[in-house]
Amino acid sequence: MLLAGQNGVTRSMYRADQTDLAPRAGLAWDVNGDGRWAIRGGYGTFYEVPLINQTLNLRLNPPFFTLDQAFGDGRTVTMDNAFNNLAIVIPNLSAFDTNYKEGRVQQFSGNLQHELMPSLVADIGYVGTRGDRLFRTVNYNQPAPGTGTIQARRPYPQFSNMNTVMSLASSQYNGLEARLEKRFARGVSFLASYTFSKSMDDASGSGGFSDSGTPQNSRDLAAEWGPSVFDVRHRFVFSSLYEVPVGPGRRFLGEAGGGVARLVEGWQINAIVTLQTGQPFTPVLAIDNSNTGQFQDRPDVVGDPDAPGQGCAATHSADCWVNPAAFARAAAFTFGNAGRNSLRGPGYRNVDLSFTKNTRLAPERQLQVRIECFNLLNWINYDNPNRTALTPNFGKIFSAGPPRQIQLGLRFMF
């Protein structure tokens, strides 16, 4: 164990890397020289900056920090005897790899763009990224699966978990992107985009609710390769703006004046439609089946999670999103074979609509009234289901996104 700033160790705790070069290159080619066909491409290397959260646990290391526990309640533990019979707590260690390197991501893209008609452009392209040396935490004191006391089987039994921040993770993203855009003209503009993509990695940062970010087996990080927690295979978004052609100088009621003109002019309609497939999640066990103290064990897959089974007449419902009978406890003192982020949750669909009325009160004063409706069709967007296998709630969904919301706004601009 090395201490920062002592015995020849630098205060930074990890060696400086002088090879972080970040080249960028881009091209644009007007194919016919008339501005209607264009080919674009680019490449760049980027580096992440270590977050302070990655180093905060270093302050909790012994001998600078100790944890003592007194078990009991107010009747058995008082200020007079609280420090007489403290429980022995085996300390955890938090460390930073001395060979840590800033995460590196290479991004590259290429697309073909064509002007279909004035103000209407279509393009299709490919976007890819390759990440390496990415942040992850590894517990180097996790024992191998087996019988007996966990602490006695640890490589360093004088410590509990030894979580080390390392640059060992990697990622890969491939995406096909298509877009149709009408630039604002004659009171109308819209943008329709579709992405078909696949994002894979062996650690998705903090992980989130669908994946803890902690490996099942710290000695087999390759087994963690799977879909990213934020992987969305299909996503379609349509947004539009429409100025209603009513009022002075417009197509309808163009000759209106006075109060009628103020009432009918300045209306605008905006809409956003979002459709996407679900994000992945990892099935886990509530017990330490491997007896390694990691509590990240996964079950065995023994059937088709998406097929109906006993007690689950139909999957992909709030009561049974996945078939619980498709999972079983692995043999005692072993790891399960279920893959990380091997299950897929509910998709997302939403329509937002707003009406805006702008009324000019004076040359430099304007009143805007907004009527906004979120989730117009009141679709139910379920969250990911409970992911703890072999429990009564496994595969069931208990929460969802917000229902339809309507709000009225008033804005005075001067």
- Residue 305 has a pLDDT of 96
Closest CA to 44 of 129, 126, 152, 134: 129
For 85, what's the count of Cα atoms within 13 Å in the CB-facing half-sphere? 7
- Residue 215 has a pLDDT of 92
- Residue 361 has a pLDDT of 83
Cβ neighbours of residue 408 under 8 Å, at least 6 residues apart? 369, 370, 371, 372
Residue showing tokens 């290397």:
45
For residue 275, give the 3-state DSSP assignment.
Answer: strand
Which H or E element spans position 152?
helix 150-153
How far is residue 97's CA from residue 166's CA, in Å, rounded to a whole number? 5
pLDDT in 10s for each residue of the chain, 414 residues = 777 778 777 777 778 888 899 999 999 999 999 999 999 999 999 998 877 766 777 878 887 887 777 776 667 777 777 777 777 788 889 888 888 899 999 999 999 999 999 999 999 999 999 999 998 989 999 999 999 999 999 999 999 999 988 999 999 999 999 999 999 998 999 999 999 999 999 998 754 455 667 899 999 999 999 999 999 999 999 999 999 998 877 787 777 777 777 788 889 999 999 999 999 999 999 999 999 999 999 999 999 999 998 889 999 999 999 999 999 999 999 999 999 999 999 999 999 999 999 888 888 888 999 999 999 999 999 999 999 999 999 999 999 999 999 999 999 988
- Residue 210 has a pLDDT of 54
- Residue 333 has a pLDDT of 97
190 in Cβ contact with 240 (< 8 Å): yes
How far is residue 227's CA from residue 233's CA, in Å, rounded to a whole number? 10
DSSP character string of 98-130: TT----EEEEEEEEEEEEEETTEEEEEEEEEEE
Is the pTM here over 0.85, yes or no? yes
Cβ neighbours of residue 20 under 8 Å, at least 6 residues apart? 47, 102, 104
- Residue 206 has a pLDDT of 54
- Residue 207 has a pLDDT of 46
First to last CA, the chain: 64
For residue 258, give the 3-state DSSP assignment.
Answer: helix
How far is residue 125's CA from residue 101's CA, in Å, rounded to a whole number? 32
How far is residue 399's CA from residue 382's CA, in Å, rounded to a whole number? 6
